[in-house]
Structure 1
Amino acid sequence: MKKLTLKLLAAILASIALIYAVGCSSGMGKATDSAMPNTSHGGYSGSTSSGYEHTAEQTVSDDDRHSLVSGNSDNIDDTRKIIKTVRLDLETKEFDKAVGEITAVTAAAGGYVESSYITGKSLSDYGNVTRSATFVLRVPAAGLDAYVEALSGSFNVLSRQESAEDITDSYYDSKARLDSLLVQEERLLSMLEGADDLEYMLKLEDKLSEVRYQIESLYSTLQRYDKAVEMATVNVSLREVVEYQRITEPPKTFGERLHQSFTESWADFADGAQDFIVWFVYVFPTLLVIAVVIAIVVLIASGISRRRRRRKSGAGAATSEPDKSQDE
Structure 2
Amino acid sequence: MKKYFKYFTGLMVALMIFTACGSSKKASHVADSSTENKAEYSIADKGGTTSGIGPPLDTSTSNNIQLSNRKIIQNATVEIQTLEFDKSSNDLINKIKAIGGYVENSNVSGKRVDNDTNIQNRHANISARIPAKNFEAFLKDMESIGSVVNQNINSNDITSQYFDTEARLKSLTIQQERLLELLKKSGELKDILEIEKELERVRYEIETLTGTLKKWNNLIDYTTININLYEVQKYKKANPLSLKDKAYYAFVSSIENVIYLFKLIILFIISSIPYLVVLIPILFVIKYFYKNKNLKVKNLLKKDEKDN
Q: CA deviation at 1:151?
A: 2.2
Name the aligned partner's letter for residue 145 of structure 1.
E
Deviations 1:44-71 (A, max 9, x none): 169xxxxxxxxxxxxxxxxxxxxxxxx9
Query: 1:153 and 2:144 equivalent?
Result: yes
How many angstroms apart in 2 are the aligned matches of 1:41 and 1:230?
37
Percent identity (aligned): 32
How many angstroms apart in 2 are the aligned matches of 1:164 and 1:155?
25
How many angstroms apart in 1 are the aligned matches of 2:136 and 2:48?
50
Q: CA deviation at 1:207?
A: 1.2
How many angstroms apart in 2 are the aligned matches of 1:41 and 1:103?
54
Give 1:132's aligned residue: 123
Secondary structure of the structure 1 residue equivalent to 2:160? helix
1:251 pairs, out of 234, 237, 241, with 241
Give 1:105's aligned residue: 95
Name the aligned partner's letter for residue 225 of structure 1.
W
Query: 1:227 and 2:218 equivalent?
Result: yes
Give 1:95's aligned residue: 85
Give 2:106's aligned residue: 116
Contact 1:72-1:179 at 8 Å conserved across structures: no
Give 1:163's aligned residue: 154
Q: CA deviation at 1:40?
A: 1.3
Gaps in structure 2 of 5+ consecutive residues: 1-46, 249-308
How many angstroms apart in 1 are the aligned matches of 2:127 and 2:217?
18
Contact 2:48-2:54 at 8 Å conserved across structures: no
How many angstroms apart in 1 are the aligned matches of 2:71 and 2:48?
33
Q: CA deviation at 1:252?
A: 3.6
How many angstroms apart in 1 are the aligned matches of 2:171 and 2:245?
71
How many angstroms apart in 2 are the aligned matches of 1:87 and 1:151?
12
Give 2:181's aligned residue: 190
Deviations 1:175-222 (A, max 9, x none): 111111111101101100101112321221121111101101000101
How many angstroms apart in 2 are the aligned matches of 1:81 and 1:42?
34
Contact 1:73-1:179 at 8 Å conserved across structures: no
Deviations 1:196-252 (A, max 9, x none): 112321221121111101101000101111111111111100011111222x25314
Gaps in structure 1 of 5+ consecutive residues: 1-37, 47-70, 259-328
Contact 1:135-1:237 at 8 Å conserved across structures: yes
Query: 1:44 and 2:34 equivalent?
Result: no
Give 2:76's aligned residue: 86
Secondary structure of the structure 2 residue equivalent to 1:200? helix
Contact 2:54-2:174 at 8 Å conserved across structures: no
Give 2:170's aligned residue: 179
Mark the CA change 1:170 to 1:256 in structure 2 (over 3 Å): closer, same or farther: closer
Contact 1:41-1:180 at 8 Å conserved across structures: no
Secondary structure of the structure 2 residue equivalent to 1:158? strand
Mark the CA change 1:207 to 1:143 in structure 2 (over 3 Å): closer, same or farther: same
Contact 1:81-1:168 at 8 Å conserved across structures: yes
Asked which structure has the greater CA Rg, the reply is 1
Name the aligned partner's letter for residue 157 of structure 1.
V
Q: CA deviation at 1:253?
A: 2.7
Deviations 1:128-155 (A, max 9, x none): 4111010111101111111111122221
Contact 2:77-2:151 at 8 Å conserved across structures: yes
Per the normalisation by structure 2, the TM-score is 0.57
How many angstroms apart in 2 are the aligned matches of 1:229 and 1:42?
37
Secondary structure of the structure 2 residue equivalent to 1:43? coil
Name the aligned partner's letter for residue 204 of structure 2.
Y
How many angstroms apart in 2 are the aligned matches of 1:153 and 1:117?
21
Mark the CA change 1:80 to 1:45 in structure 2 (over 3 Å): closer, same or farther: closer
Secondary structure of the structure 2 residue equivalent to 1:162? strand
Aligned-pair RMSD on alpha carbons?
Answer: 3.0
Contact 2:92-2:145 at 8 Å conserved across structures: no
Deviates more, 1:193-202 or 1:75-84: 75-84
Name the aligned partner's letter for residue 240 of structure 1.
E
Deviations 1:259-281 (A, max 9, x none): xxxxxxxxxxxxxxxxxxxxxxx
How many angstroms apart in 2 are the aligned matches of 1:249 and 1:173?
52
How many angstroms apart in 1 are the aligned matches of 2:222 and 2:74?
8
